[in-house]
Chains A and B, each alone.
Chain A
Amino acid sequence: MGIEVVVEGLTKSFGRQQVWRDVSLTLPAGEVSVMLGPSGTGKTVFLKSLVGLVRPDRGRVLIDGVDIASCREKQLYRTRRLMGVMFQDGALFGSMSLYDNVAFPLREHTRLGERDVRRIVEEKMAMVGLAGDGPKLPGEISGGMRKRAGLARALVLDPQIILVDEPDSGLDPVRTAYISQLLIDLNAQIDATILIVTHNIQMARTVPDNIGMLFRRNLVTFGPREVLLTSDEPAVAQFLGGRREGPIGMAEEKDDATVELELTGAGGIGDRAGEDRAGGDPARIGDRPGIGDGPGPGDRAGIGDGPGRGARAGGDRAGGDRAGIPPQLTPTPGLPERQAVNRRMDRVMRDLHLLPRAAQAGILAGLTDADRARYGIYRRDAIRAGES
């Protein structure tokens, strides 16, 4: 089974620029997690600090009992052998063919003969759809192929922790879907702990067991997927909806004044899923005509931008609408079940009372009959009534 990664109070600055502060989370062993965040919020820096390439100013990263942030070089190198990392640009060795790139970790760390090396390398390259591309040089292939070769290289030593930096950027939607499926299949096969750093919403919705989001130098949330997918946090909701209105701007962040105006103007995005779910506060909207460029929630339902929050705010309660929480990808038929699914469900059900209401509702709505029997939940309606 994969290894748990515990991050405690991590803070990092470059000169005067603070990237993020006080990030604490646990990547549960053997589960798939996604770290979301707009570009430039330090996702890559976070990933690099998990492997000791970036030394944080404060905080700890515990892997297998070793604090990556402060351990000695020798231990660092030993711990890294448990990990496979795919870099944002693939980071292939430009002077070696794809085959030699993928074979590199095997040749460095094992005493396998050339025949075994070839078998493993070809298997991994076929896995990422690069069968037959072995002799090519990294300079001769597209960015997406480099990325997939980087993934093959990260997988070749059967790592227990797999870290993937933006597997989707530079890939077309179809290839992205294949990569998503590949990551889930991998998790089913080797039960590794996987962290995917991305800003791809589709991937975030369907792949992970847990999601976190970095924004404004902070970890906004990290937890079971249902929590973030049903979150009312303005930044989260804006990001998932891919909208302009909200705290995230074109530059790294909008300045605080703009955001404040927008928040009040839009009738309080935060309030929306709360009790007043009608049309915001007409008086407030009337007070500030044209300031908030976001239409009020009432309008939004009319515009009908898909499963937006206008629809969801009431919907969750109304009739078990699960628009906010799409079903998770399952392994390709024929592969073993993902053991992480049950482990995670046990954990989530144990801590259910600690989660926000919307998340609770989403989780309960998503239970199968077998799950309900397993956790002793017999009367769905009673639970539902108790919730709201």
Chain B
Amino acid sequence: MSADTAVPGIGALRQTGSLFSLAASVVAKTFRRPFQVRELIEQFWFIASVTILPTALVSVPFGAVIALQVGSLTRQLGAESFTGAASVLAVVQQASPLITALLVSGAAGSAICADIGARTVREEIDAMRVMGVSPVQRLIVPRVLGAMGVAVLLNGMVSVVGVMGGYYFNVIMQGGTPGAYLASFSALAHLPDLWISEIKALIFGFIAGVVAAHRGLSAKGGPKGVGDAVNQSVVIAFLLLFFVNLVLTAIYLQIVPAKGQ
């Protein structure tokens, strides 16, 4: 830690480095025995329980907003027949993974970070290391895998709820025709759209879990330190998620040709 003050920005660089090395060691230790099955199930259940309800509550209005906006836009353009497909694509590809990511990092990530941070300042993590048990393998891997799994599930849920919400608002509120709505699905959307959505969710879950764990492990200085760590964890995770989303979207649009072209 010496010479932190010598070069401006070196602290941030070092943090970035240790974040990546934690990510690498999470990946490596995922395949190391003994695998912590019980902890994984507990964490999966815990993360699911803190995220499902808020996600469901957020996804209905979100799907509706997109449906309304896209609906009125397509009407302006005279492409009403594509309303269904357009809003489904928007929900499945963008809205759903991001909602999932925000909730996983906001609700689950903050809980993970607070838990790991409290253990760090109470020296539980050090004690574990001293007893020859790797905290990454024992605590972090199950949490990150749990976050990834829950993210994928939630993403599926948000997609379905969002699409249903879109259908409701489009067909019932805006007076669209059900047949056209459904028919446009197959005209514009295809299976890879769902895959990229799930892959995004998986990656976002990983990022949210690793960032939360990383901030938690570097918490110091008592309860105040844990609070700071949670705060940082949420902010950093959000920044990273939006950036990675941009990159993934750009790559996807490049390599997978859009249907109907």
Q: How many residues of B contact A (CB 8 A)?
A: 19
Q: Decide if A81 touches B132 in the complex (CB within 8 Å).
A: yes
Main SS class of interface, B: loop
Smallest CB separation, A225 vs chain B (Å): 27
Smallest CB separation, A82 vs chain B (Å): 9
- Kindly state the separation between the CA atoms of A91 and B122 in the bound complex, as whole angstroms: 6
Contact of B124 among A52, A57, A80, A92 (CB under 8 A): A92
Q: Decide if B126 touches A108 in the complex (CB within 8 Å).
A: no
> Which candidate, A8-16, A319-327, A346-354, is the interface stretch facing chain B?
A8-16
Q: How many residues of A contact B (CB 8 A)?
A: 28
A-B pair count, CB < 8 Å, reads 61
Contacts of A53 in B (CB 8 A): 126, 129-130
Contact of A94 among B122, B129, B132 (CB under 8 A): B122
Q: Decide if B4 touches A108 in the complex (CB within 8 Å).
A: no
Q: Decide if A91 touches B123 in the complex (CB within 8 Å).
A: yes
- In the complex, whether A170 has a CB less than 8 A from a CB of chain B is no
Contact of B119 among A85, A94, A104 (CB under 8 A): A94
- Kindly state the separation between the CA atoms of A77 and B119 in the bound complex, as whole angstroms: 20
- Residues 230-251 of B contacting A (Cβ, < 8 Å): none
CB-based nearest B residue for A165: B123
- In the complex, whether A87 has a CB less than 8 A from a CB of chain B is yes
Contact of B130 among A78, A83, A93 (CB under 8 A): A83
- Residues 79-118 of A contacting B (Cβ, < 8 Å): 80-81, 83, 85, 87-89, 91-94, 104-105, 108-109
Smallest CB separation, A101 vs chain B (Å): 9
**Closest CB pairs A-B (n = 3):** A91-B127, A91-B123, A81-B132
25 A–B pairs (Cβ distance < 8 Å), ordered by A = A13-B1, A14-B2, A15-B1, A48-B126, A53-B129, A53-B130, A77-B132, A78-B132, A80-B129, A80-B130, A85-B127, A85-B130, A87-B126, A88-B123, A91-B122, A91-B126, A91-B127, A93-B124, A93-B127, A94-B118, A105-B132, A108-B131, A108-B133, A109-B131, A109-B132
On B, residues with C-beta under 8 Å from A are 1-5, 118-119, 122-124, 126-134
